[in-house]
Structure 1
């Protein structure tokens, strides 16, 4: 039965994204995310402008045929900076959440499987960090490490670590009492084999879906740090930094703050909608149980 379940799990994971894209909401949200990612990757091919070249004679230009989204206070093309800013927002958020998921799964799996003193130690640290808002944890870490992309990535990774560790711990504790885990242990399987061959493959899907949803929050956190000048440093474009510079120009050149804000808002909403589609496609009631 273990072999049958092992072959069913990859099929479930392989079809999860396909199921999400079959829904109307998932297709629209996923399509926007794919389009944005491609536009960010190939930004240097899609726009004739450079994100850091100033043209003061074109400063505060409204949207036009030559500058579709207008220019900022230094005459830089806003669409170009939004596309390059997407590179920062998406890469920082995805990499940070990926690292947070990886570390959280390791800690949560160890705590849930071994229990005892190790579980109490890890749970205490996790609960302590969980009691503070993510933005407060991020601000403290950035203040220690220093502003910039590296500091932002470390801050986001640590800020969201607790939720993945708690979720993995709960999943592992629920699965380790299954009959096939007891059978594997009785047959002499090592702790490493049980953890990485049986427990984590069964616990990983809900954690990945949670990570997908947390990526939207990470984009907001990255933009918040950028808004306060603690994220990517000039002249590197950042959605948060662009909105920060646009606040003082809201009535003179509102497009400077509106368009980066729309890009961030649409992206976060799309991530949440696609995450909901993933949850619907997951359909935990159809997951095979191993007896």
Structure 2
């Protein structure tokens, strides 16, 4: 009896770079989830007498300007940065897939309207759209989440529309229509599942960009508000202390950089396993 092949996300871990990247991502997510268990320190309790302590056996990554343990705030900051970025990309994917699929399937004036709006927003940098929306909605995690979701909506709408436009002329779609399947059935049961893999891989890669965008907004003071830690907010606080206590900005910056690189490396391994580039060349 032939054994079932493991799913693509597991096969991607067999790549050397994909395995290292996947291990880092699992470790970061696990640390964020288990933050209250892993750290003996509170992320929001100040101890001014312990301020600016360099890395030591007691505080592995040192302390910040308020005497708070930096490693603890990094771990809790992962909760903020990863959850805000992940939820924002999930919302963007869901809305983008609905809009893109509807535009490609129904066509006509609706397709032209969606394409026009998408192309208009696509012409602006994500950071500019996010800054405008946060300025309107207000700073905080909710505003940041909505801003990131809207900033990346055009990307997933365009990708989904292109996939559906390619797939809707296939023979199995004509067969489903001839058997009396309705628009909703064809979209939900045939088109969207076949368009899902490229969109999900794109969403994973976009999550790395979203983490950078969330950190940028946090650096400007527009993200999570104190005392809630976020990686961008920690770097913002450390930027004024770079010569006095460089570890305050160094370690959050390294975590952001390594996490984003890990997401991209794992995403590349996943693309290779799914052969998305080959499928897209064949479709073209």
TM-score range, shorter chain: over 0.9
Which of 265, 268, 279 is the matching residue for 2:271? 279
Return closer, same or farther for 1:210/1:286 CA change in 2, 3 Å cut-off: closer
Q: 1:56, CA displacement in angstroms?
A: 0.3
Q: Secondary structure at the match of 1:153?
A: helix
Q: Give per-residue Cα distances to partners, 1:89-111, cap 9 Å, x unaligned.
A: 11011111011001000000001
* Count of residue correspondences: 277
Q: Secondary structure at the match of 1:233?
A: coil
Q: Give per-residue Cα distances to partners, 1:28-82, cap 9 Å, x unaligned.
A: 1011000100001111111110000000000000000000000000000000000
Question: Matched residues in 1 for 2:272 and 2:214: separation?
Answer: 28
RMSD: 1.4
The residue aligned with 2:222 is 230
Q: 1:286, CA displacement in angstroms?
A: 7.5
Which of 29, 35, 40 is the matching residue for 1:43? 35
1:183 and 2:171 correspond = no
Question: Matched residues in 2 for 1:178 and 1:276: separation?
Answer: 28
The residue aligned with 1:153 is 145
Gaps of 5+ in 1: 1-10
Gaps of 5+ in 2: none
Q: 1:19, CA displacement in angstroms?
A: 1.5
- What TM-score, normalized to structure 2? 0.95
The residue aligned with 2:160 is 168
Which of 5, 8, 14 is the matching residue for 1:22? 14
1:115 and 2:107 correspond = yes
Q: Give per-residue Cα distances to partners, 1:164-191, cap 9 Å, x unaligned.
A: 0000000000000001111111221100
- Higher mean alpha-carbon deviation, 277-286 vs 202-211, is at 277-286
Question: Matched residues in 1 for 2:268 and 2:221: separation?
Answer: 32
Question: Matched residues in 2 for 1:122 and 1:153: separation?
Answer: 22
Question: Matched residues in 2 for 1:20 and 1:91: separation?
Answer: 23
Which of 126, 131, 154 is the matching residue for 1:134? 126
The residue aligned with 1:202 is 194
The residue aligned with 2:81 is 89
Question: Matched residues in 1 for 2:223 and 2:83: separation?
Answer: 13
Q: Secondary structure at the match of 2:7?
A: helix
